[in-house]
Amino acid sequence: MRSGFPRLAINARVHRRVEAILKVAERCNINCSYCYFFNGTDDSYKRHTPVIKFDTVTAVATFLREGVESLGLEYVQIDFHGGEPLLMQKSQFAAMCDHFGAVLEPVADLNLCLQTNAMLIDDQWIEIFMRHRVKVSTSLDGPAEYHDQERVDFKGRGTHCETIAGINRLREAVCRGDLDGFGVLCVINPARSASRIYRYFVDELGLDSMDFLLPQMTHDTFAGLPATAYGDFLCQLFDAWAADDDPRIQVRILNSVLSLLLGGRSKVTGLGAEMPLAITIASDGSVGPDDTLRTCGTAMIESGANVSSTTLAEFVNNPLMRVLDSAKENLSAGCRECCWQRVCGGGQLVHRHSARDGFNAPSVFCDGLKPFFAHVAAYLLVRGLPLGRLSEVLLGDAQALESAAQTRCVSIQNLP
Amino acid sequence: MAKKTKVDARRKRASALLAQLHDAGVKIVNIKGQETMTLDQLTAASKLSKAALKDISTKGIDFTAWGAWTLRF
């Protein structure tokens, strides 16, 4: 029975974690054409300070600490985000890391992460990452011929060369043992070859930690190739990764789908039924939900709350958070009837949104996600996953698939 | 009536899932009289990696271990 307490707060207590996407800089040194932050429907960044001030940093630290104590959390992840977070002065960034450590490490397991375009990374930044154990993730859309199509500077010039220079500094730091590793995020463009991108990452750059993101599109903004093309891309990606059979190479979206199909949890928001507590804190301390909802319009990201005047426990009860919590739990009719519900969970909220129907729709990528899930499930079945196990995970009944197939015992074969 | 509706919904989802698995290249066939597969049978019937086979042979068919080795997470 659902209590009157918001599910987000329940989830926070269950998972004992909060992820704070902290916009330390709301400006950028480049101008990616697909940027959801600067080139989308929301322009709230214009009203925020370009770089976070230290007063706000202290307020954020207090806000998170109070949240840890009141919600009984054990794990706090702060994602330094932007814009481009490395536009912050190095000394300020380091002081910020020191402050978060001093305030939060006594009460929680603190994880500091960074999402950067890598172009500003130099040896001094590497030293800061090392000293403060900041986990770095970079944005790279593949080889230059792909990356430079959309990831451009303010003069329209490609940024691949400078990005790779920064990535190479990270690789060298990993080789020296100064950093444990770093990750790469690639935005999916189905007009491109998934295997080309994967092979470029693995063979030419030696990367072993990556993720591929569906673009931030709603039902109102979806354009270009059909959703099925995204499914084809993901299937191709999966095949390339599976063929390597290399346990070192981690692809977060693939790990998440595999985990969910086996009855486990997703590694990312947007898959699975769970909705871990993720908030966005702007450079002026404004608190909002998951940053991706910015694509749904300013009303979906501005809660009216600020870290200086609210608490985390109060924020999860904010009317906007309640709306989003309800949207995640109350799926459209099509999603409720879908055999992939326990894996998909309806998909990311942003992908379900339209001005007309709100969140009452399947993901705009639904027609691509279904064949992708089936592709991965097929991989598992032909490698020995019992049909009953898959049936139990997806349908809640170990016999359901066998009954539907009208067999008593089954063997799984690839079709010729 | 509510239970029947729930069962019908599950059957519908199961049929949809089977169809999608078929589209993904999987054929489910009947093997009369066969018990649950032994590890040898599973090995012969599947394409488990050597690491997964070694893990399963020592720890049993535990999905966590199997997943961790075969599926790299």
Across A119-128, A388-397, B17-26, the highest mean pLDDT is recorded for: A119-128
Residues of B in contact with A340 (CB under 8 A): 17
Q: What is the pLDDT of residues A357-384, one digit of tens each?
A: 999 999 999 999 999 999 999 888 777 6
Predicted local confidence at residue B26, as pLDDT: 79
Predicted local confidence at residue A243, as pLDDT: 87
Residue A306 has pLDDT above 90, yes or no: yes
Are the C-beta atoms of residues A115 and A185 closer than 8 Å to each other?
yes
ipTM comes to 0.77
Residue B47 has pLDDT above 70, yes or no: no
Instruction: Note the helical H segments in A151-205.
Output: 160-176, 194-199
| Identity of the residue in B14, B47, B66 whose CB atom sits nearest the CB atom of A395 | B14
Predicted local confidence at residue A299, as pLDDT: 87
pTM strictly above 0.95: no
Looking only at the bridges linking them, the beta strands covering A410-414 and B26-30 are antiparallel
CA atoms within 13 Å, Cβ hemisphere of A358: 11
DSSP A55-99: HHHHHHHHHHHHHHHHHT--EEEEEEESS-GGGS-HHHHHHHHHH
Residues of A in contact with B23 (CB under 8 A): 371, 374
Are the C-beta atoms of residues A344 and A369 closer than 8 Å to each other?
yes
Q: What is the pLDDT of residues A177-226, one digit of tens each?
A: 999 999 999 999 999 999 999 999 999 999 999 999 999 999 999 999 99
Predicted local confidence at residue A14, as pLDDT: 59
Q: What is the mean pLDDT of residues A274-296?
A: 90
Predicted local confidence at residue A66, as pLDDT: 96
Q: What is the pLDDT of residues A224-246, one digit of tens each?
A: 999 999 999 999 999 999 888 88
DSSP A192-243: S-HHHHHHIIIIIS---EEEEE-----TTT--SS-HHHHHHHHHHHHHHHHH
Residues of B with CB under 8 A from a CB of A: 9-18, 20-37, 42, 45-49, 51, 63, 66-67, 69-73
Those residues whose C-beta lies under 8 Å from the C-beta of residue A332, and which sit 6 or more positions away, are A346, A352, A360, A361, A362
Q: In degrees rounded to 5, what are phi and psi of residue A364?
A: -65, -15
Buried b (16+ CB within 10 A) or exposed e, A188-217: bbbebbbeebbebbbeebebbbbbbbbbbb
Residues pairing with A80 in the sheet: A22, A114
Instruction: Establish if A339 touches chain B: CB-CB under 8 angstroms.
Output: yes
Residues pairing with A251 in the sheet: A210
Q: What is the pLDDT of residues A31-45, one digit of tens each?
A: 999 998 999 888 889
Predicted local confidence at residue A11, as pLDDT: 59
Predicted local confidence at residue A3, as pLDDT: 41
Least confident of A130-134, A291-295, A397-401: A397-401
Higher pLDDT, A406 or A13: A406
Residues pairing with A211 in the sheet: A185
Instruction: Note the helical H segments in A105-150.
Output: 123-131, 144-150
Predicted local confidence at residue A400, as pLDDT: 84
Q: What is the pLDDT of residues B9-41, one digit of tens each?
A: 888 898 899 889 888 887 765 544 444 455 455
Residue B61 has pLDDT above 60, yes or no: no
Residue A9 has pLDDT above 70, yes or no: no
Q: How confident is the model at residue A10 (pLDDT cuts 50, 70, 90)?
A: low
| Identity of the residue in A258, A386, A408 whose CB atom sits nearest the CB atom of B67 | A258
Residues of A in contact with B16 (CB under 8 A): 338-339
Longest dimension (CA), chain B: 50
Higher pLDDT, B29 or A137: A137
Q: In degrees rounded to 5, what are phi and psi of residue A387?
A: -60, -40
* Other CB atoms within 10 A of residue B59 CB: 12
Predicted local confidence at residue A137, as pLDDT: 96
Q: Whole-angstrom distance between the N-terminal and C-terminal Cα of chain A?
A: 48
Closest chain B residue by Cα to residue A334:
B13
| Identity of the residue in B13, B35, B46 whose CB atom sits nearest the CB atom of A382 | B46
Residue A415 has pLDDT above 50, yes or no: no
* A280/A84 Cα distance (integer angstroms): 15
Instruction: Establish if A401 touches chain B: CB-CB under 8 angstroms.
Output: yes
Predicted local confidence at residue A15, as pLDDT: 66
CA-to-CA separations, B54 to A385, A404, B43, B70, B73, in angstroms, rounded: 16, 34, 11, 11, 17
Predicted local confidence at residue A162, as pLDDT: 98
* A219/A31 Cα distance (integer angstroms): 24
Instruction: Establish if A165 touches chain B: CB-CB under 8 angstroms.
Output: no
Compute the mean pLDDT over every residue in chain A, rounded to the nearest whole number: 90
Q: How confident is the model at residue A169 (pLDDT cuts 50, 70, 90)?
A: very high
Percent of chain A whose predicted confidence (pLDDT) is above 90: 69
Q: How confident is the model at residue A133 (pLDDT cuts 50, 70, 90)?
A: very high
Q: What is the pLDDT of residues A83-116, one digit of tens each?
A: 999 999 999 999 999 999 999 999 999 999 999 9
